[in-house]
Structure 1
Amino acid sequence: MSHTFLLQPGSWIIKGTLTEKNEHLIPFKGATIIAWDQSNWFTMKTKLVFERQKQDSSETFQNLEFEYKGFFPTNKYNYTYVLKRSDFDKIEGEGWITKDSIIQRYWILGDSRRRAVLETIFQLDDDSYHLSSTMMAGNNIIEVMEGILERHG
């Protein structure tokens, strides 16, 4: 099997859960659109919509939007990107393509809490992937997100 997520243009639907430290599972759903241009640059836009409020609070989770712009050198298995998240401005990252997974790591620039995210996007079949994403602040896990990405259309 060769990778169809990220390495090919397309749209994907994601459903999953987010867990913050000391919180219950918060379901979310969303969509991702991936586009490539002819010079090995890709863009990936994702929007996640959370389906409930924080525990013991009237505050709801903010929807998250991600906008990646990255460069994938010809005949290489790793890439770099910049990312804008709706809750952070300046983010840089790198990714590796392995036989079964796409591994991404990004870090928030200028963040006093030293937050960084490690994601594994494991291929289940040509049309679906399992996402596991962990945000850390320094040495502590503060957020875990898991979901299934399915090709749309």
Structure 2
Amino acid sequence: MSHTFLLQPSSWIIKGNVTDKNQIITPFKGATIIAWDQSSWFTMKTKLVFENNHSSSENAHNLEFEYKGFLPNNKYSYSYVLKRSDFDKIEGEGWITKSSIIQRYWILGDSRRRSVLETMFQLDEDNYHFSSTMIAGNNMVNVTEGVFERHG
């Protein structure tokens, strides 16, 4: 089975939870759109909507990601830049393995030395398990888990 996430233009929905250091669990849902502009350049845009612990829609917040990356033909590693709605300058790299796509990015100029490790594990052609951990220095800050489901 070959990867369908990231490597093919498509749209995905994601549902999951974020757990922070204090063990507060916040559910979210969102969508991702992946496009290939040229043979080796891709963009990936994701928007996540988090539910507030007080279940009030006016207290919900969003997080947006915009990746721009370069994956050379016949290679299994790539680099990218990322704009997140809560951070300015981010750079990252990714590896494509048989069962997973693994990405690491770091926030440039961040005094807390934050970085994120993400894994998209392929369940089947239309579903991936997503796991992400933000680290500040030597400490885990939060863990995000969810499932991507392909919609086109």
Q: TM (normalized to structure 1)?
A: 0.94
Of the structure 1 ranges 79-88 and 61-70, higher mean CA displacement relative to structure 2 is found in: 61-70
Q: Report Cα offsets for 1:79-118 as digits up to 9, x if no partner.
A: 0000000000100000000000000000000000000000
* Letter matched to residue 139 of structure 1: N
Tell me the residue number matched to 1:9. 9
CA distance in 1, matches of 2:63, 2:37: 25
Q: Report Cα offsets for 1:23-79 as digits up to 9, x if no partner.
A: 42100000000000223100000000001237xxxx946310000000001111000
* Letter matched to residue 89 of structure 2: K
Of the structure 1 ranges 9-18 and 59-68, higher mean CA displacement relative to structure 2 is found in: 59-68
CA contact (8 A) 2:51 2:61 kept: no
CA distance in 2, matches of 1:124, 1:19: 22
Tell me the residue number matched to 1:33. 33
CA distance in 1, matches of 2:140, 2:99: 25
Q: Report Cα offsets for 1:119-147 as digits up to 9, x if no partner.
A: 11000000000000000000100010000
Structure 1 segments unaligned to the other structure (5+ residues): none
1:73 partnered with 2:75: no
CA distance in 1, matches of 2:110, 2:64: 19
For residues 71-150 of structure 1, the aligned pairs below 5 Å read 71-150=70-149
Could you list the runs of 4 or more consecutive aligned residues of structure 1 that deviate by over 2 angstroms after TM superposition? 59-62
In the alignment of these two chains, the number of paired residues is 149
CA distance in 1, matches of 2:120, 2:38: 24
CA distance in 2, matches of 1:37, 1:119: 23
Alpha-carbon RMSD across the aligned residues, in angstroms, is: 1.4
